[in-house]
Structure 1
C-alpha cells in the first residue's frame, strides 16, 4: 500500500516534469482527479452493492460467450466450439482464437449498436459527462467526449462532439486524445474479460471499473502535461443519437462495423506478432546477457520496470509485469492480456494480476496512435499539425493515466 501511494505521487510528478507549462498547472484539478479516482475505486471495489453489481456482469459475459458459441459452432463446427470429431490429445488444443474469441466482437458490436439505438448508452454517457464537468471543471463538449470514451472507441467518441473539436483549446484537444488512449471500448471490453476470466474471476467488472477510473486520471494527466490557458468550451448541444432507422437496422449496422473491427484486429495481430518475431530473430545475433538471449520483451521489461514498481508490484515480480506493460505499450493490450492469461503459475501474485489488469486497460500503443490521428484529423483537418505533434504525448499520457489506476488499485488491495 505504501509503495503504491508513493508510486501514485511519482507518476503525477513524471507528468508534471514533462509539462509544457509547469507553472500553469491548476492544483485543484490534481486533487480533484485523485479524489475521484480513489472514490470511484473504493465504491466499485470495496462497497458490496457496487462490487456485487460488477460481479453480476460476469454472468452477462458468460451468456454472451454461450450465445456466440451457438453461432460459431453452427458456422464453423468443432473449430467454433462444437463437439470434436476426434480425441483431444492436448487439453485446450482445440481452442482457436479466430473462431472462438474474435467472433465475440461481432455479437458485442451488434448489441452495442442496439443499446445505442434504444438510447440506453447515450443516457449513461450523459450522466458521466455531467459528473466530469461539475467535478473536474471542464467544458461540456470535452466532458461529453471523455465520458463517451469510457464506452466507445477513441474515434467514435470525438465524432459525437465533432462540431466542437476544431474549436477546442490545445489543452482540451490533448485531454480528448489522452482519454481515448487511457480507456477501452465496450466492443473489446467483453472480449478481454472472456480471456481473463480463468485467472481473474469477475474480470469484466474489473475491466469496466478500470476504464471508468481512468477517465478522471486522463483529465488529470493531460492537464498536467498541457495545462489549460484558454477559456473552455462550456456548453455543447451535441445530440447523441443512432443513425439506424430501426432495431434491426441497428443490429445490421453494428454487425457491419464489427466485421471491419474483426478484420482490423486479425490483420494487426498477425503483423505485430510477425514483427516481434522478426525483431527477436535480429536481436538473436547479439551475445547473450546473463545466459539468456536478448529479446524485444527483455528490453521493454527493463524500460518499464520502474513504472510497474511505482504501481505497487513487488520487485521480485516487476520483471514479468514490466514485460507485459512493454508488450501493451509497443504492441497492444490484447496481446498483453493474452500473455497475462497464460503466464506460468507463481510469476505474478493475485494482487499483482489485478494491478496489471487495471494498468493495461487502455488503448495507449503505437498501433492505436495511427487510428487516433487518422480519425481526429478527418474530424478537424485544421488542427492536423497540432494533433500529430501531440500524438506521442497522448501515448505517454494514456500510459501514465492507466498506471495511476493500477497504483490506486494497489493501495486498496
Structure 2
C-alpha cells in the first residue's frame, strides 16, 4: 500500500508542477521520464544492492576521514578548551566547513572538479535532452553553494531566458553544497544524506523543466569552464577556500542564532493565544496530507510535518537540529524520508541569496528572479517532496 500512496504522491507533485507550468506545449516528457527512472534505479541500487551499500559506506568513510583531518585543525585552534560531553555545535560541526571548502577550492583550481562536472552534465544533457548549461549547473550545485554554482555560469547569463533562469535557480535552491555535507552527516544518517544528493539534483530538474520548459538553440548552449577559478596558485586557492569556508560557517551560525531565537519568539506568541500550540504543530497539520502520501507512518506525520515545515520557513540546519533529537524515537522510514527532504536549500532565505547573486551578475535578471521568487520556492519544495517520496519507496 505504501508503494501505491508513493506513486500517488509522485503524480500529485508532477500534477502541481504541471498546473504551474509557463508553457505546457513544450514540456520535455521524455527527459522527465528518463530522470524519474534514473532516480528509481539510483535509489534501488544504493539501498537494495550490496554494491550500492558498499559505495555508500565507502563515501561515508571518506567523509569521516576528512572530518577527522578537519577536527585536527579545529582542536589545534581550541587548544584544549573544554566544551562538555555534548560538544559545541559551532566547534564540532560548523568549523569543519572551512576544511571542506578548502578542498573544493583546490580541486576547482586544479580543474579536476570542473572537468568532472562538465562531463557528467554533458551525459545528463545527452540522455535527457535538457540544455547543457542547465545540466552542468545542476551537477555543479551538488558541489558548490547557491552563489558559487550560479557564478560558475555567469558567462552564459546573456543567453538565459526567464525560463532558463528559473531552471538554474531551482537547481541551486534544490541542492546543497558539498562543503556542508560533512556537517549534515554529523547530525543525520549519512546514507540518507548521500542518497539525497543525486535525488535532489534530478528532482530539481524534473520539477523546473515542467514549470519552466525550454528549447535552446545549439549555438546558445555551451559550457565554458576556463575561468571557473581566479587563483594563481594552489596556496592561493587554499587560502581563499579557507576564508570562504569561514564565512559560510559564520553565516550559518549567525542565521541559526536568528532563526532559532525567532522560532522561540513565534512559539511564545502563538502559545499566548493558543495554549500548548506551536508553529511546528501547525505546519505538521498543513503538511499532513503530503506526509501521509509520502509514506510516513500515521503516528509520526505531525512530528515529521512540523520538522519539514520548520525547514521551509527557517533553514535546513534549524530543522536538522530539531530532528536530530528525535532519531531513535521515530521509525527508519520517517528518518529516511525526512532526512532526504531536509537535504536541500529550499527555504525562504534562499530566495534572497539567489536573487542577490543573480543581481550581482546581471541587474535585470536579478529582478526577474525576485519576481518569480515564491514560485521558485514552491518548485524547490515540490522537488524535495519528490526526492523524499522516491527514497521512501525503498525504505
Q: Give the TM-score, by structure 2 length.
A: 0.93
Superposed displacement of residue 79, structure 1: 4.0
Determine which of 96, 104, 122 is the counterpart of 1:112.
104
* Secondary structure of the corresponding residue to residue 390 of structure 2: helix
Superposed displacement of residue 310, structure 1: 2.3
Residues 349 and 234 (structure 1), Cα distance of their counterparts in 2 relative to 1, 3 Å cut: same
Residues 59 and 26 (structure 1), Cα distance of their counterparts in 2 relative to 1, 3 Å cut: closer
Superposed displacement of residue 145, structure 1: 1.3
Extract unaligned runs of 5+ from structure 2. none
Determine which of 310, 331, 352 is the counterpart of 1:370.
352
Q: Give the TM-score, by structure 1 length.
A: 0.89
- Partner residue, 1:85: none
Extract unaligned runs of 5+ from structure 1. 82-87
* Secondary structure of the corresponding residue to residue 272 of structure 2: coil
| Structure 1 consecutive aligned stretches of length 4 or more whose deviation exceeds 6 Å | none
CA distance in 2, matches of 1:225, 1:33: 15
Superposed displacement of residue 229, structure 1: 5.8
- C-alpha contact 2:114 2:225 (8 A) present in aligned 1: no
Map of 1:37-186 to 2, 5 A cutoff? Answer: 37-79=39-81, 92-93=85-86, 95-186=87-178
The aligned length equals 392
Is 2:241 the counterpart of 1:254? yes
Alpha-carbon RMSD across the aligned residues, in angstroms, is 2.0
- Partner residue, 1:84: none
- C-alpha contact 2:311 2:347 (8 A) present in aligned 1: yes
Residues 99 and 222 (structure 1), Cα distance of their counterparts in 2 relative to 1, 3 Å cut: same
CA distance in 1, matches of 2:241, 2:128: 33
CA distance in 1, matches of 2:320, 2:120: 27
Map of 1:241-390 to 2, 5 A cutoff? Answer: 241-288=228-275, 293-343=276-326, 345-346=328-329, 348-390=330-372
- Partner residue, 1:218: 204
CA distance in 1, matches of 2:43, 2:140: 19
CA distance in 2, matches of 1:181, 1:314: 28
CA offsets 1:291-345 (integer angstroms, 9 cap, x no match): xx22211121122222222221122111111011011111111111112211164
- Greater share of helix residues, 1 or 2? 2
Larger CA deviation: 32-41 vs 387-396: 32-41
- C-alpha contact 1:183 1:211 (8 A) present in aligned 2: yes
CA distance in 1, matches of 2:390, 2:117: 24
CA distance in 2, matches of 1:258, 1:344: 28
Map of 1:201-212 to 2, 5 A cutoff? Answer: 203=190, 205-212=191-198
Superposed displacement of residue 23, structure 1: 4.5
* Secondary structure of the corresponding residue to residue 412 of structure 1: coil
CA distance in 2, matches of 1:349, 1:48: 23
Determine which of 221, 231, 238 is the counterpart of 1:234.
221
